[in-house]
Amino acid sequence: MSETLVSIWTDANTQWVLIGTLLLGLASGLIGSFALLKKQSLIGDAMAHAALPGICIAFLIHGAKSMSWFIIGAALSGLLATFFIEKIIKLSRIKEDTSIGLVLSVFFGFGIVLLTYINHQNNGNQSGIDDFIFGQAASLVGTDVKLISAVAVLLIIITVILFKELKLLTFDPQFAQGIGLPTSFLNGLLMTLIVGVVVIGLQAVGVILMSAMLITPAIAARYWTERLDHMVIIAGAIGAFSGVFGTLLSTTTKGMPTGPLIIVAATIIFLISMVFAPKRGLLLKAIRQSRLRKQVAREQVLQTLYDFTEQEYKQYKARNGFHEQQMIKKRPISNHMLQKILHSLEKEELVRRTGDALWCLTEKGLIEAYHITLRNRLMEVYLMNEMNYAHFNIRQDQSMDLLQLPEKVLTELQQLLKQYGREPLVLPENINSGKRSYHRYASLGGK
């Protein structure tokens, strides 16, 4: 094992292969990010499968194995496949997914036919084309790798130079057109970039799994950032790492195809990203969510108690506590959760037990509940009239953000609250007087 490792670092060909797969991974991560955001991930799959007949025809015409011919053949048949996919969607009632699957499978079938034809012609002579199916990086020779690396570098340079334009194209093609960008040219360019990265990856990764090189690093990178430029860099890095990792493992294990190993490496990074990434990762999301759920449940209980208090107040009844079952019916919550929250609220001296499963707000609790209720009802009014306030950009799950609104708007919202008859009626300081007064929200220390 250590000997093979040493030979990897000293063998010039292996070094070239590693550089090649590194650049390939980088390019596919970069371009894959755009393909992903443009929702064209599966087009890459179709192109890769469709490249097979192109490679075979190139072999038949040229008569020998030649990387540059293969690349040309693969690119042409890949582009032809995308052309067919688009035409079928446009000219018939067949939908996109069917069209992709149809073209992909027929092209691939034709490729297999040609492949068997070539193998029979050569009387079992290895043409090396078989390697294109699952990828065999080790079979690359120096000149091939140099060609692949050169094309990869070219693709990377084009992407970097036109980053701004491609970004606009994926985000808002109509706007891009509006400001005079040649969108159809850029679309074609993006397609060509995708085809380019697919064809140079075929020898190392193989036609079947090449699409994953476009999809997996990009989708993994998506978990780490909200910015396209960062995403593209991260995706490129993940692609490069997977490429090198897969190549190393495959050259040390006999008979192991490179493509699957590269893809498994990328998938593992994807899974790690999905679970552990900050912000978007599932783990931290779950933690945040459970914290949020607790907070929401706490506010929910307080608001429910407030609602009940308000109702009784309207009917000039005495407050003597409200039953737990009543609370659950008003705003569904598990009994376990309710007990937990009531218990912690009791510790905070916000609620008071008044009997068996009966609870009411304390004076302190009423203040807290009042604020929560006011805020939630303001939010409600805000949402009801969202169109008028859309420019304030309040996140819908963050009623706290309301406090950032200008005073004028808050007053307006309060007015609406009154109009809808939704203003909280029970005010902490004059709870017994029965007088209804409305304080400006900010002065109540809502901050």
Handedness of CA 309, 314, 318, 324 (dihedral sign): negative
Q: How far apart are CA 429 and CA 297, in angstroms?
A: 26
Of the pair 177, 411, the CB lying nearest other proteins is at: 411
Question: Using CB under 8 A, which residues numbered 43 to 72 contact other proteins?
Answer: 44-45, 49
Residue 278 interacting with other proteins (CB under 8 A): no
331 phi and psi, to 5 degrees? -135, 105
Residue ranges in 354-393 that form contacts with other proteins under rule CB under 8 A: 380-381, 383-388
- Residue 440 identity: R
CA atoms within 13 A on the CB side of 443: 4
Query: Which range binds other proteins by CB under 8 A, 116-124, 138-146, 181-189, 234-242?
Result: 116-124
Q: Is residue 436 close enough to count as binding other proteins by CB under 8 A? A: no
Q: In whole angstroms, what is the distance from residue 244 CA to residue 266 CA?
A: 11
Query: Interface with other proteins includes 117 (CB under 8 A)?
Result: yes
CB nearer to other proteins: give 26 or 220: 220
CB 216 to other proteins: min, Å: 6
One-letter amino acid for residue 156 of the chain: I
Report the alpha-carbon distance of residue 447 to residue 442 in Å, rounded: 7
Residue 37 or residue 176: which is nearer to other proteins going by CB? 37
Distance of CA 187 to the CA centre of its chain: 22
Phi and psi angles of residue 92, each rounded to the nearest 5 degrees, phi first: -145, 180
Residue 110: is it exposed, middle or buried by C-beta count within 10 angstroms (0-12/13-18/19+)? Answer: middle
Q: Which of 15, 267, 326, 344 binds other proteins (CB under 8 A)?
A: 267
Among 93, 317, 391, 435, which residue interacts with other proteins (rule: CB under 8 A)?
93
Q: Tokens for 94, please give them.
A: 């067949």
Closest alpha carbon to 262 in 249, 243, 248, 237:
243
Shortest reach from residue 312's CB to other proteins, in Å: 18
Interface with other proteins includes 446 (CB under 8 A)?
no
Q: Tell me, residue by residue from 316 to 345, as one string, x for binding to other proteins by CB under 8 A and - for no binding.
A: --------------xxx-------------
Q: Which of residues 226-255 bind other proteins (CB under 8 A)?
A: 255
CA distance 241 to 239: 6
Smallest gap from Cβ 381 to other proteins, in A, equals: 8
109 in contact with other proteins (CB under 8 A): yes
Q: Which stretch binds other proteins (CB under 8 A): 70-78, 109-117, 185-193, 342-350?
A: 109-117
Beta strand 351-355 with 358-361: parallel, antiparallel or unpaired?
A: antiparallel
Nearest residue (CB) to other proteins, 187 versus 267: 267
Binding of residue 419 to other proteins (CB under 8 A)? yes
- Give the Cα separation of 292 and 259 in Å (integer): 42
**Which residue intervals of 172-227 are DSSP H helices?**
173-178, 183-205, 210-222
The footprint of other proteins on residues 150-189 (CB under 8 A) is: none
Interface with other proteins (CB under 8 A), residue from 416, 417, 426, 427: 416
Q: Which of 8, 80, 102, 189 binds other proteins (CB under 8 A)?
A: 102
Shortest reach from residue 434's CB to other proteins, in Å: 26
353 φ, ψ to 5°? -80, 130
Contact status, residue 212 vs residue 264, Cβ threshold 8 Å: no
Which residues 193-212 are close enough to bind other proteins by CB under 8 A? 208-209, 211-212
By CB under 8 A, the residues from 8 to 37 that bind other proteins are 36
Quote the least distance from Cβ 153 to other proteins, whole Å: 26
